[in-house]
Amino acid sequence: MKPRVLMIAYACNPQGTGEHWLGWGWAEQAAKNFQVDLITTPKSRAEVEQSSRAAGITPHFVDVPPAVRKWTERAGGSWLRKLSWQKEVLRLAARLHQEKKFVLAHQTTFHTFRVPFLAARLGIPSVWGPIAGGEHVPPGFERYLGPARASEFGRGLFNRLWLQSPGVKRSLREASLLFVSNQTTLNFLPPDCRAKARIVAPNALRAEDERCAPPSKTAAANAPFRLLYVGNCVATRAIPIVLEALAQSELADYEFSIIGAGPALDDWKTRAAALGVAAKVKFVGKVPYQQLNEFYAAADVLVFPAMRDSGGSALLEAMARYLPVICLDWGGPGEMVDSRSGIKVSVDSPEAAVKGFAEALVRLQRDPGLRYTLAAAARVRAEANFGWAAKRKLLEDAYQSLIRP
């Protein structure tokens, strides 16, 4: 009989995106060689029940008491609501463990250390993560935050304080193994828990990503150099670094499409106009996921100057679609890409980052062969490191090391 494990995923939806889809993905992969009981919220109950039948997963749905939900919604206390949910989960997990005798418990989502892993107290081997949250803006790059500078400072202060909270400290101490999203977060965690941590990127390829075939296009003689950004338009994505690089590079024949929406858009448009590049920058807005392939296929390079990311969905989508990437050598993106699959720009200073982006853009514009070489390597790296087959092996090896040390 297969060993029985308990998985906890607050965000979990087989038909969702981002963290919700990843929460389901870990459970689905674990179910290949383990009996899985999955605890999640009733938010996507129909989707979870349908997919659980196909995967052989036993789902359990936990909600917070109505009075707690009502109070936290009025007071804006989403964290308190999540903590209340965790306490309800612990009660259910303890009852289920008495009945079914789990060999291991694993909390996959939330993807943050800020919400404790209370079920690590069951007295059985436990895995927490992938957790993130320790990422921060590189020193000296605060000028790109604009009005978000104060909130970013508050976030950093909040994280340092929360790391000292009793629930988080106990969870870090009691978890048998930590999956940590990136080296930046690992460095942020207390030194005494790093020995039991393993870097596990949170992002994964979707089925449609894995089906992408190599592009058949060749560079047209007079085609413009096409740059693409896909993602949330927030200050920490630092698109002004690219805008300044374009102005500095003196590239003439290019097009830059920015896909997404968010509070930083007005500032980015203002900066594009001030730098004299607005005529070549197109702010497309939000695009349905199904239409993104058209933009990826038309692009020559994805620019992803994220200053505080645990990973990057668009970055991985580009890699899977044979599109080379330019990103900052910082946080999750700097670890997802290596020197063979993209160009990583130093964050020694803002000036160095702008210069590095400018040089990378000129280099890729002038050398289509390099673009194709990087793109092919990016696809190989995406499959090897971010496909679910690779993640399942990592998961099963980790489980076996705890169950049968």
Q: How far apart (Å, rounded) are the C-alpha atoms in residues 159 and 272? A: 33
> What tokens were used for 112?
């943050």
pTM of the shown model: 0.91
pLDDT value of residue 75: 60
Quick check: 391 and 29 in contact, CB under 8 A? yes
Pick from 10, 179, 134: nearest CA to 79: 10
* pLDDT (0 to 100) of residue 220: 60
Q: Structure tokens of 26?
A: 């870990």
Reported as a pLDDT band with limits 50, 70 and 90, residue 385 is very high
CA-to-CA distance for 194 and 341, rounded, in angstroms?
A: 28
Q: Spell out a b/e string for 204-230, using b for 16 or more CB atoms within 10 Å of the CB, else e.
A: bbbeebeebeeeeeeeeeeeebebbbb
C-beta pairs of 292-295 under 8 Å, 24+ apart in sequence: 292/230, 292/259, 292/317, 293/321, 295/228, 295/230, 295/257, 295/259
Q: Residue range 127-156: average pLDDT? A: 92
10 Å Cβ neighbour count for 186? 17
All domains of the chain in start order, with CATH: 4-132+163-204+387-403 (3.40.50.2000), 207-385 (3.40.50.2000)
Q: How many other C-beta atoms are found inside a 10 Å radius of the C-beta of residue 387? A: 16
Q: Which of 216, 271, 261, 202 is nearest to 241 (CA)?
A: 271
Secondary structure letter of residue 279 according to DSSP: G
Cβ–Cβ under 8 Å, residues 174 and 126: yes
Q: How far apart are CA 326 and CA 305, in angstroms?
A: 8
223-268 pLDDT, tens digit each: 899 999 999 999 999 999 999 999 999 898 999 999 999 999 999 9
What pLDDT, on a 0 to 100 scale, did the predictor assign at position 80?
Answer: 79
Q: Is the pLDDT of residue 208 over 90?
A: no
- pLDDT-above-90 percentage for the chain: 82
* CA–CA dist 132, 214 (Å, integer): 32
Residue range 197-223: mean pLDDT, rounded:
82
pLDDT score of 35 more than 90: yes
Please give the Cα distance from 252 to 149 (Å, whole number).
33
Q: At residue 124, what is the residue type?
A: I
Mean pLDDT of the chain: 93
φ/ψ of 6, rounded to 5, equals: -105, 125
pLDDT at 278 over 80: yes
Residue 191 backbone dihedrals phi, psi, to 5 degrees: -55, -30
Give the residue from 351, 294, 341 showing the smallest Cα distance to 320: 341
Q: Where are the alpha helices (DSSP H) in 250-349?
A: 265-274, 292-298, 313-320, 331-336
What is the per-residue pLDDT for 219? 58
